Every structure is written in C-alpha cells, then in structure tokens.
Amino acid sequence: MNDPAPSQDAFESALAARTAPLHTGSKSTRVLGVLALVLLVSLLAFALVITPPEVSQRDSFRLLYLHVPSAIVSLYVAFAITLVGSIIYLRKQSVFWDLLAGAAAEVGVLFLGITLVTGMLWGKPTWGVYWQWDPRLTSTAVSFVLYAGYLAVRKLDMDPVVRSRRAAVLGIVSFLNLIIVRYSVQWWRGLHQGQTFDVADTQMDGVMLFTALLGVITMHVVFAWLVIHRFRVAWLEHQADEAGLDVALRERRAEGANV
Amino acid sequence: MLRDARLVASKDLRVEATSRVLTTQVLPFALLVLILFGFGISPDQQVISGAGEGTERVAILEKVAPGLFWLAVLFSTLLAIGRSFAIESVDGNLDALRMAGLDPAGVFLGKMSAVLAELLVLELVVGLGCFALYGPPLAHPVLLVTTVLSATLGIAAAGTLYAALAAGLRVRDTLVPLLVLPVLAPVLLAATLATEAALFGPDGDGWPWALLLGAFAVLYTGAGILAFGTLVEES
C-alpha cells in the first residue's frame, strides 16, 4: 500500500509550528544589507575613480582593492568559522554550528574564486601571463579545490546526521591541510625565487591606504550579510525536512488510530 | 589498539593474497602509467642542465623522473584505498568490525598499515621501472629510502582517512580523488623535491623535505586515529 503524500497544508502548518520566521530577512540584516551596498558603491568610487593609479603597476593595481580583501576574508575568516563550527558541532551536535560551518565555507569558496580570478587578471598586465607559479596563487588554487571537496561532501545524498558528522571532520582536517599547503608551497617557491611582488615596495599614499582599508571593511560586511542569509536558508531547509518528518509521523499515528 | 590493528591489517593482506586485485590490476596500471608518461613527454626531448662550465644536455624524462614516479604512485593510491574500503562495504563489513568490539583507532591503523605495505611493494616495482625506463642516477640511497618510507606513510594515512569519509557512498569513486588529491598535493611536492635531491644530489637539499614528509605522516596518522571512530559511526 502506498503512503499518501503529505498534503501541502499539513506540511505548511507543521513548518510554521516549528519555527517563527519563514523568511531570511530581518530588521538588522536589512540595515546590514544597506550598509554593505553603500560600502560597495563607495569602494567602487574610491578604487576606480578617486585613487590615483599606482606608480609602477598603473591601473591594474585597482584590482587589488578587491583581490586582497577577498583573500583575507575567505582564508582567515570564512574557513576559520568553518573550523570552529565543525569542532563545536562534533562536541555538541548542534545543528546551528553545522549549518554555520557550511554557510561560511560556501561563501568562503566564492570569495576564494573572486581572489583567484582577480589575481589572474592582475597577473596578465603585471607579469605578462595569467598564471605565474607564485606561492600564494598556487596555494590558493589548491585551497579552492580543497574546500570545493568539503562543499561536495555537504551536498551528498545520505543520512543528514552522518553527513554532518563527516563534513565536520572534513572541516577540521581541511583547515589543517590549508596550513600545510600554504607553508609547503611558500617554502618550495621560496627556494627558487623571491616573492614576485612585494607589498612593502608599493608606494601607497593616504587615499590609497584608505581605499585598501575600506576594501577590507566592505568585504567583511558583504561576507557577513551573505553568510547570515545563506545560514538562514539552510536553517529553513533543515526545518522543512523536519516538518516533512513531523507530518509523516503524524499521519502514521493517525493510521494506527484508525485501525 | 595495536592488537586490533594487527588483526585488521593481516585480514586485509590475506584478502589481497587470495584476490590479487592489486598485483594483477593496480600494479600493471602503474607500470602502464610510466610508459604513457614516456608517450606524453617525448623521450627525445632534452633540457640543458647545470650552470656555467658544467652544462650538459639531459633527457627531460630523466630530469622529471621523480615527479612522474610520485604521480604514478598517487594514481595507484586512489585505486588501492578504493579497494581497501570496497572490501568493507559489502555485507556491512564495516559495521561488523565495529560490532566485533574492535577499537576504531585500531581498525584505522590496521587498514592504514595494509595500504602502506601494498604501496611499498608497488613503489618498489614502479621505482625499478622508473630507473629502467627513465634512467636517472642514484646519488643518495639513504635519503631515497627515508623519503619513500615517510611519504608513503603520509599517503597511506591521509588516503585511509579520506577513503573512510567516503565509505559506503554510491559516489565514492568520483568523490575520493577530489578529496584526496588536494590533500596529497604537498606530499607530491615534498616527495618529488626530496627524491630529486636523492637522485641527482646534493642531499642537503632533500633532508628538510623528508622531514616535512615525516611531519605530515605523523599529523595524518594522529588525525586518523582521532577521527576514524567518528567517521565510521552510523547515526
């Protein structure tokens, strides 16, 4: 005998009963969103118009106002959140930390992708080629694949609890590996050649320094906004799964009562 | 823990002794890869090696033999660790091991040791194949043996850990390479550089890399011992 599919009404009421908001926005995140937008627009204005071109790299330098902050946010903030979330999940089995770890990694991979693309675009006029076996570029590429693998595990079609646990282990080990990759690649290239491009050598005046700082702040705010929303979507998905289970349980019980 | 490890390792090696999947399938595959590298990189192509007075022309294949050796080992590793968990996924074997009261850390160490032993045999054959086909010199045998042992320990540890992560999944065969290869990228790097130093000298260039390989092996063996229980535990 086939189970009747739970009706849409029963599902929606079960979902509504589980959790208060059924949307991802809230007053504070709307403020955060507007702030992110304002910061982005002003970053564009400063990076593209107001700052002068850099002495030796000219206009291509402007890419770095986006490139460097994306790298900082993904490598130092996003994957650290994934690490912490994974550790806490394994200790407490709290869905909150599992979903947060996943949301941070997803946005982190996006930012790392931005880092790679802007890095290559910047490399073409600066080095004459899109790809240089520069230590940072190379280790960033490996890190990108590393966390793409983490996201692939999170997407697996399997028991959610087992999947979360395996993802958490992976989230921890990946961070360990991130460090190994970074240092070994730096060590490798360091033997053959010095840093291709030394940040300390560039001449940055007041406006440029301000723009660089603005870039870092902007990307953090954008990151926070994206992660909060990604987290809330994941949370709602989780609630929807559970609500589906609630409905199925209730229908089974009703079946039992009717016999 | 160590007793359990020995039990699991000997079980895996006995399974291999009767099935001979690695010797009849993976080993020929590895040798084939060596030959294919020769097709991909023409054996006639040469590079100028050395600086100043001592320059000489060497075949590219000879020069890049260390990297090719480790690439062939990495590809074979994917098959070996896949096999290591394929024999556990039939009939819920992994559950059975757990129900038998074996320490998960012991199971990890056992499976890792079996993979380690299999890889070492494979490397011996592939290594001889490399010397035969690409003809590099051997300047520092002690460094070479140290490099091979520490690198293989790291590969076996990380490989077993990640294969456990994908154990029992339908997408295992496509997922494991994506997960394992970025992790083993630093091993490939360090092992290639250490092997280069061992073959062409000076060995002083190689020891720091061998040390890094040792550190990697210890780190991943530790991670596997700690995490294996969590990975194979079902909900």
Interface predicted TM-score (ipTM): 0.86
Domain assignment present for residue A4? The answer is no
Nearest to B134 by CA among B55, B203, B64: B64
Confidence band for A36, pLDDT divided at 50, 70 and 90: very high
Tokens found for residue B66: 């260390």
Q: Which residues of A touch B165 (CB under 8 A)?
A: 153, 166, 169-170
Rounded average pLDDT over B167-183? 88
pLDDT digits (tens, 9 = 90+) for A37-61: 999 999 999 888 888 887 677 788 8
Q: Which residue from B minimizes the CA distance to A186?
A: B186
Rounded average pLDDT over A132-144? 85
Domain assignment present for residue A22? The answer is no
CB contact under 8 A, B193 and A159: no
Element (H, E) at B221: helix B207-232
The answer to whether A168 and A98 are in contact (CB under 8 A) is yes
DSSP letter for each residue of A103-154: HHHHHHHHHHHHHHHHHHHHHHHHHSSS----HHHHHHHHHHHHHHHHHHHH
CB contact under 8 A, A162 and B219: no
Confidence band for A5, pLDDT divided at 50, 70 and 90: low
Domain assignment present for residue A123? The answer is yes
CA distance A13 to B185: 50
The percent of residues above 70 in pLDDT, for chain B, comes to: 97
Query: A156 burial class (0-12, 13-18, 19+ CB within 10 angstroms)?
Result: middle
Q: Which residues pair with A58 in a beta bridge?
A: A54
Q: Which domain holds residue A155?
A: 65-196+204-242
What pLDDT is attached to residue B235? 42
CA distances B170 to B25, B86, B206, Å, are: 22, 11, 41
Angstroms from A242 CA to nearest CA on chain B: 16
CB contact under 8 A, B186 and A181: yes
The answer to whether B199 and B137 are in contact (CB under 8 A) is yes
Angstroms from A76 CA to nearest CA on chain B: 19
In the predicted structure, residue A193 carries a pLDDT above the cut 50:
no
Domain assignment present for residue A24? The answer is no
Taking each helix axis as running N to C, give the angle between helix A160-192 and helix A95-127, from 0 to 180 degrees, rounded to the nearest 10. 30
Rounded average pLDDT over A186-206? 61
CB contact under 8 A, B175 and A173: no
Give the B-side interface with A, CB within 8 Å: 161, 165, 169, 171, 175, 178-179, 181-183, 185-186, 189-190, 193, 212, 216, 219, 223, 227, 230-231, 233-235
Domain assignment present for residue A144? The answer is yes
Query: Could you say which of B182, B219, B227 has the minimum Cβ distance to residue A142?
Result: B182
In the predicted structure, residue B218 carries a pLDDT above the cut 80:
yes
CA distances A111 to A75, A108, B6, Å, are: 9, 5, 46
Tokens found for residue A113: 């992708």
pLDDT digits (tens, 9 = 90+) for B92-142: 788 888 888 888 899 999 999 999 999 999 999 999 999 999 988 898 999
Domain assignment present for residue A180? The answer is yes
Q: Which residues of B touch A169 (CB under 8 A)?
A: 165, 227, 230-231
In the predicted structure, residue A245 carries a pLDDT above the cut 60:
yes
Query: Could you say which of B189, B231, B235 has the minimum Cβ distance to residue A184?
Result: B189
Rounded average pLDDT over B8-32? 89
Number of domains in chain A: 1
CA distance B190 to B188: 6
